[in-house]
Amino acid sequence: MAIAGAVATNDCVVLIEGESGTGKELLARHIHVQSTRKDNPFIPVNCAGISESLFESQFFGHVRGAFTGAVSETLGVVRAAEGGTLLLDEVSEIPLHLQAKLLRLLQEREIIPVGGTRPVPVDVRFIATTNVSMQKAVESGRFRPDLYHRLNIVRIEVPPLRCRTEDIDPILDYYLEFYSEQYSMPMRVLGESIRRQIRDYPWPGNVRELCNYVERLYAADLPPLPPAMTTTWVEDVRHAQSQPLLEPKPGRITQINDSPLIYTLAQAERSAIITALKRTGWNRSAAARLLEIHRSTLLRKIRNHGLDDLF
């Protein structure tokens, strides 16, 4: 984004709005990495997950003996981010009565640890994210207008993935390479047909759903399927693996669907492999278990029978 690149080189507060899963934290990290603070900490704080009673201690730290159990001094996340960037993730979830404390931090750029008496100056860059409209939160009385204006120096709205299809291929390639390394597997190659279906899919879960889709290709060793089908196929594989294998009766196969047929050994093996793959949702590891052979043996037979095109 052009705006993100422009603000990266200065220290202004940035407010990033967008639907859940659109990659707001990734954008915040990008701003940090492009800034002069890149060699210092980037610390994300889940504002929705901070206990109200521990808010000040977790944000501003505390001195030794400030309360029962405070056996040593704690910096808090603000001072831990000294020289770097503090990401206030889901800042809209901070309770109204605690927002004044954050306002003072942004105004004065100093904190007073719990139990302390002297203000401590801090050198921190602030980026805030939210999945709701902050303007509407202010209008409804859930967010302080003065804090909103302190956060809204530069506002970046991250559109949902369905509205920026030009970003899908680069994000897809990034995660294909990332999970190839994570799972120590060869990088999956997706043809143009499946990529077109990926671009056409609405991605209601945004970047997070696309990330999960790619990981499933590696974790479940699935063939490249349209996104809407992948979850269903994973469930089909689990169901197929739970079903007992019906062993064929001894003797030559002489007919299928009442049509006379004589199978060669190679044809029978090819048919058995295809049946096992279909039954397990094209999961090669599961199919190998079903056929009671090693996975590498199955992969070799798939190549020998020219079945690679089925994937």
CATH topology of domain 160-243: Helicase, Ruva Protein; domain 3 (1.10.8)
Note the pLDDT of residue 2: 67
Alpha carbons 171 and 1: distance in angstroms, whole number: 14
Residue 234 has pLDDT above 50, yes or no: no
Question: What are the tens digits of pLDDT across the range 118-151?
Answer: 888 999 999 999 999 999 999 999 999 999 999 9
Amino acid at 76: G
Alpha carbons 157 and 136: distance in angstroms, whole number: 15
Lowest mean pLDDT segment, chosen from 67-76, 161-170, 187-196: 67-76
Q: Which CATH superfamily is domain 244-311 in?
A: Homeodomain-like (1.10.10.60)
The residue written with tokens 């309770």 in the block is 95
Q: Which CATH number fits domain 2-158: 3.10.310.30, 3.40.50.300, 3.30.2270.10, 3.90.199.10?
A: 3.40.50.300
Between residues 5 and 174, the one the model is more confident about: 174
Alpha carbons 81 and 42: distance in angstroms, whole number: 7
Question: What are the tens digits of pLDDT across the range 1-15?
Answer: 567 778 888 889 999
Note the pLDDT of residue 246: 44
Note the pLDDT of residue 261: 44
- Whole-model pTM above 0.85? no
Report the length, in residues, of the chain. 311
And the tokens for 54?
Answer: 């521990």
Domain residue extents for the chain: 2-158, 160-243, 244-311
Alpha carbons 266 and 162: distance in angstroms, whole number: 47
Our CA dihedral for 207, 93, 155, 204, rounded to 10 degrees, sits at: 20
Residue 235 has pLDDT above 50, yes or no: no
Provide the pLDDT confidence category of residue 68 given band limits of 50, 70 and 90: low
